[in-house]
Structure 1
């Protein structure tokens, strides 16, 4: 296909997607965003958050000053992706953008980045009146919303905001997302030759396995889930493993359930260590807080109005995942997460329809127009 112009949502997305940007390594894609903003005629500011969170960049904030009355709003997207397992070669096939190289595409969240930039260009070049629009681009969202947490939210002039970070058909508005806590447990046993002196060893992997087997994992109820996602341990098959580390999480829209699940995990870990004659060290981290909106909350109503104006029937749902929206809601700045059509994110089958990229630009402009009139 003929390469689309770089100032279109598709052209921008194709450019951004092929730039690898795993958490902490977002510099190249950030520079492309800064170049695009400058070409539009906008000035951006990058904070110093990178040095404190282990990223090559800080948070990038760009302000389009209001031109008339209305509700000022902000749009937020993250520049990092989950780490790709190979090259990223975005192609358009049958109306969808995919990665021809067999790893993630990065639609999460570069599709939102492209939409925000394309909408900003339309606003500036079309001299579109608005009540104030701010664009925020964050690093290290995929590893605990760290960029957003490091951002000084008092710098925002906006009264409310939106992220486009839900893999679902356009029209869906997220009313709530969970609280998440993460847990790392490191079991310490005793190494020994597995064939000659196994009775002298104390298997840290066995202790970890006993702990995991005792945990409630998977879907707990319609608001909660728990998972052990990483197990690391051992040095060779013929050595009783001295060390084993597990990484786990619990999440729920009910904070009390999160606390209950975490305590159960800690109890299972401690019991398994003691019965295996091992010791264990644990680290518990509050990853992010959950939130719930009423169906008639102003930020939800504004999103719904924008969607209707763009030709979509709004619907509402709850998410099992976190997004930068969690951070802003925790800090008292209403921020709604809107679905933008991403499919199979974080997998080699990740894709997004070209039509949805264009449509989200129209949704954005419709929300900006509705905010001006609110």
Structure 2
């Protein structure tokens, strides 16, 4: 098959609008595509956890093997009005919408590879392919991905780095919601009777090490909500943010430091705080002597590229898989300027990504 078929599949999937939790239109397309090639497709029961209108789509080749290759079906922004354009060495949108490279490129790469395997009868290992939901919002699709217990390794086709690169280590993120309870009072007539929860938040925030704390840790306050009227002392202030780190203990320690800072400031004015926190995704680091690390090195080298291991302060389905005990890397496919109207992909990167996918599954 010539690469034009790969481009054709890519252009098809980017024009299917499927946002997070509304992936069914693309899932239906993939289901039909694979079924027509003779593959058996299954849907897991993740929808009851993700609230998506479809489960993750799973396709086993042979017994399903001991490794999975994944791409996520959702895009961060709509693609229903996308007008793809081929300009010399790249595919881009008209500039009015996103292109949907993140992660329709990964979807196209896996579909194209499966089509070649079926039509050309390429000898391959047993393996599993999964198309996940809700990656852009919560990673819940991969978190609740229903794989059998034989899966030990994962290859996620979703990194914006160009082919040859792969993410072997990624941070984790603690998300938190914190509420400060003060006392409302008229700000003109009786300000002394009020307890200003917004002031407490401001005082605490100025004492936090926001931004990049060190080379592996960041802290951010993302939203601050407070007040009911200009003449009322703010009774309630809500603070939402996150702490990211490659080091699980360090992330939790900085979060505890954050809570302590808010508690101390609240105590000064006889206010109270409540909070809850959760791991959006946990960090992972794949060792160089692991099978998945060795296999991606081999595949990248085999297609004529120089392997470039990377670290990332972003989360992906690879975080979820590693949290399940499935050692996984996130493979560079070259999605440029993701989520923006300037999003594009080099045709060369699309082709090389497909070559890597096939190299991973071919029999030795």
TM-score by length of 1: 0.87
Match of 1:223 in 2: 216
- Contact (CA 8 Å) 1:77, 1:137: kept in 2 or not? yes
Counterpart Cα distance in 2 of 1:257 and 1:129: 46
Query: Could you list the runs of 5+ residues in structure 2 that have no partner in the other structure?
Result: none
Match of 1:46 in 2: 43
Q: Is structure 2 residue 120 aligned with structure 1 residue 123?
A: no
Which residues of 2 match residues 238-253 of structure 1 at below 5 A? 239-253=232-246
Inter-CA distance 246–133: structure 2 relative to 1 (3 Å threshold):
same
Inter-CA distance 282–352: structure 2 relative to 1 (3 Å threshold):
same
Q: Structure 1 residues 32-41 or 126-135, which shifts more?
A: 32-41
Match of 1:25 in 2: 22
- Contact (CA 8 Å) 1:20, 1:88: kept in 2 or not? no
Inter-CA distance 358–192: structure 2 relative to 1 (3 Å threshold):
farther
2:86 to 85, 92, 95: 92
Inter-CA distance 347–241: structure 2 relative to 1 (3 Å threshold):
farther
Which residues of 2 match residues 1-374 of structure 1 at below 5 A? 8-65=5-62, 72-84=66-78, 88-100=82-94, 102-153=96-147, 155=148, 157-192=150-185, 194=187, 198-237=191-230, 239-369=232-362, 372-373=363-364
- Contact (CA 8 Å) 2:17, 2:80: kept in 1 or not? no
Counterpart Cα distance in 2 of 1:84 and 1:59: 20
Counterpart Cα distance in 2 of 1:283 and 1:29: 35
**How far is the alpha carbon of 1:87 from its aligned partner?**
5.4
Matched residue pairs, number? 363
RMSD, aligned CA:
2.8
**How far is the alpha carbon of 1:169 from its aligned partner?**
1.7
Inter-CA distance 283–195: structure 2 relative to 1 (3 Å threshold):
same
Counterpart Cα distance in 2 of 1:109 and 1:141: 9
Counterpart Cα distance in 2 of 1:21 and 1:244: 35
Note the alpha carbon deviations across 1:245-291, whole angstroms, 9 max, x for none: 22211121212211111111111222233345543221110222222
Inter-CA distance 357–240: structure 2 relative to 1 (3 Å threshold):
farther
Q: Structure 1 residues 282-291 or 208-217, which shifts more?
A: 208-217
